Structure 1
């Protein structure tokens, strides 16, 4: 990138997602109205000048009623520009497992366009049931490691594959 390019960078979007599990290891997923009908991790697009971790906390509360802190980034997914769609970056944040009393309070945030919020067995997260299951599965692998590298994904698959 030349200095001139730095004054007018290409348009990009940032999306932040929360990977939340309960004490039984189930993953919290939401279904949005008017979408594909498939489930996705709670989250959404960042507002201008909003940090990715603030975005995920805001959306997780709006979509599920859960107030939580971000624990760590467990995946970054780069989505190259394609046709009319701008380039994007998705951050997936791991969240500490919710205690049962808090997990039982999950509700769909109808005002935010979520029609369903439920706990899903990770084995049931497939292309038939979820948007971007590769991203969720790769993030789960990292979340289960106490330490380790952060996977860089391209179109929900490990980079270089």
Structure 2
């Protein structure tokens, strides 16, 4: 299960990461650990890849990806809010993170820097529809990563 974070700056640009293992940019995120709530996994990956501590407040999109080069996946995109335009990102070294960098990209440029499927997912998530995050049928408070940020 992919747990992805949708972060924007006040200009409306979208935060994307540049992985060294594939062409094109991606939303920050990654897989959940066994029994890890997906919104906490998204917050953990966001912090690990950019240094940002942001709460995941709602689902922005749910996307099933059929098997191709990879196994099929359910990708959950979480709304992580808006940061100041001057927010500093801290991307770990490539040999640790597998990332070449991270940056905010204007919405109109998303189709030019992402694969078609990734871009479509992000544009749907930007449409403004959200669903609450539930655990055992109860709304969760917007939580960031756990106090222990070990990875």
Normalising by the smaller structure, the TM-score range is: 0.7 to 0.9
TM-score normalised to the size of structure 2?
0.77
Instruction: Work out which of the residue numbers 42, 47, 52 in structure 1 matches 2:28.
Output: 42
Instruction: Work out which of the residue numbers 2, 11, 18 in structure 2 matches 1:24.
Output: 11
How does 1:1-161 map onto structure 2 within 5 Å?
14-36=1-23, 38-82=24-68, 85-100=70-85, 103-110=86-93, 111-126=96-111, 128-131=112-115, 132-142=118-128
Q: Distance in 2 between matches of 1:114 and 1:125?
A: 18
Q: Distance in 2 between matches of 1:117 and 1:104?
A: 12
Larger Cα-atom Rg: 1
Q: Distance in 1 between matches of 2:44 and 2:16?
A: 16
SS of 1:40's equivalent? coil
* Equivalences, count: 128
Q: Distance in 2 between matches of 1:148 and 1:43?
A: 19
Gaps of 5+ in 2: 133-151
1:77-98 Cα shifts (integer Å, max 9, x gaps): 012345x743310000011111
Higher relative contact order (CA 8 A, sep 6+): 2
Q: Distance in 1 between matches of 2:29 and 2:41?
A: 7
Aligned to 1:153: none
TM-score normalised to the size of structure 1?
0.72
1:41 deviation in Å?
A: 0.5
1:148 deviation in Å?
A: 7.5
